Amino acid sequence: MTAKIIDGKSLAEGLRGRIAGHAQRLKSDHGITPGLAIVIVGHDPGSQVYVAQKAKQTVEMGMHSEKYELPETASEAEVLVLVQKLNADRAIHGILVQLPVPDHIDSRNIIQTIDPAKDVDCFTPASVGKLAIGLPGPISCTPLGCLMLLRDQLGDLSGLHAVVVGRSNLVGKPITQLLLRENCTVTMAHSRTRDLPFIVRQADIVIAAVGRPEMIKGDWIKLGATVIDVGINRIDAPERGPGKTRLLGDVDFASASQVAGAITPVPGGVGPMTIACLLANTITTASLINGLMPPSDLIA
């Protein structure tokens, strides 16, 4: 069997089309230009690339974009003051502080200062709680992107067994909540799980979000399963030239694609969906802040 390759780029393009339409309607019908502020502290090259992409796509959607680049030496208090200013800014409907922040800053303090109404990452305790009990609000970007890919691929997910490998706040925990909402049976596995290959072999859906390059092998996958690889592991690739790197997922694509029914590539699978979902969340928060129902076609 050779798996269908799930094309995240093309699904993200469709989603961006809907987002641009909603941004246009918010403007023409309600005089609202959705605004997203992105804060980056320090010079991590990977984060710089992501943040540039996020800001560029915000503008392409006809939305208002602000980017704040603070030096590596910025204090926690400086970041908090900026977040508070953005909380009060009526032109801003979404605030994203790119993680990781430098070690001398406690990211938990930053996150807890973001107004939950503008929390497009769905990181604040209030947003996480809303997600868990199914209240309207932003949904964690990468998990939302995974869910959209799964629904596009499989339709109704009801009754399917999903195994989530990885228990991070960013992906593992929120995707579990979303899959439960979809009536999946969900198993959460992690680095301490015993006989991980046996557990993964039970899955109709595998979500690999463990952060270890090519850890999940083809012989861990049930025939025909759908595999969503969230891993983005940048590794040295001297064969491509001095200083070159390449991206690897958490799944061993070569062997897994012989067994799975469908699989996301890295890059080009989950990644493009994550940024599109951030923009979708900005439409959602701009709507909710203004007392409007968020569009249902941005949720999944």
Nearer of residues 101 and 286 to ligand GUN, judged by Cβ? 101
Nearer to ligand GUN, 141 or 228 (CB): 141
Nearer to ligand GUN among residue 21 and residue 211 (C-beta): 211
Residues that bind ligand GUN (CB under 6 A): 96-99, 121, 141-142
- Whether 98 is catalytic is yes
Smallest separation, CB 60 to ligand GUN (Å): 19
Instruction: Name the amino acid, one letter, at 36.
Output: L
Rounded CA-CA distance 82/71 in Å is 13
Question: Which residues on adjacent β-strands are paired with residue 245?
Answer: 236
**Nearest residue to ligand GUN, by Cβ distance, number only:** 99
Q: Which of 57, 119, 121, 173 is catalytic?
A: 121
For residue 152, indicate whether it is catalytic.
Answer: no
Structural contact between residues 98 and 37, judged by C-beta atoms closer than 8 angstroms: no
> Rounded CA gap, 283 and 290, in Å?
11
CB of 266: closest distance to ligand GUN in angstroms?
15
CB of 219 to ligand GUN, least distance (A): 30
Beta bridge partners of 5: 263
Confirm whether 258 is a catalytic residue: no
**Helix or strand run (H / E) with residue 29:** helix 8-30
Q: How far is the CB of 34 from ligand GUN (least distance, A)?
A: 18
Residue 250 DSSP one-character state: S
Cβ atoms < 10 Å from Cβ of 41: 28
CA distances from 237 to 93, 225, 231, 242, 253 (A): 40, 30, 17, 8, 17
Instruction: Please give the structure tokens belonging to residue 1.
Output: 């069997």
Close Cβ partners of 284 (under 8 Å, ≥ 6 residues apart): 136, 137, 138, 294, 295, 298, 299
- Which of 98, 257 has the CB closer to ligand GUN? 98
268 neighbors 9 (Cβ within 8 angstroms): yes
The 3-state DSSP class for residue 204 equals coil
- Exposed, middle or buried, 263 (CB in 10 Å: 0-12/13-18/19+)? buried
Rounded distance between C-alpha atoms, residue 293 and residue 274, angstroms: 22
Which listed residue (98, 118, 153, 204) is catalytic? 98
Return the number of the residue (11 or 209) whose C-beta is nearest ligand GUN. Answer: 209
Instruction: Compare residues 256 and 278 and give the one whose CB is closer to ligand GUN.
Output: 278
* Alpha carbons 207 and 165: distance in angstroms, whole number: 6
In the complex, least distance from residue 130 CB atom to ligand GUN, rounded to whole angstroms: 18
Shortest distance, position 195 Cβ to ligand GUN, whole Å: 30
Please give the positions annotated as active site: 54, 98, 121
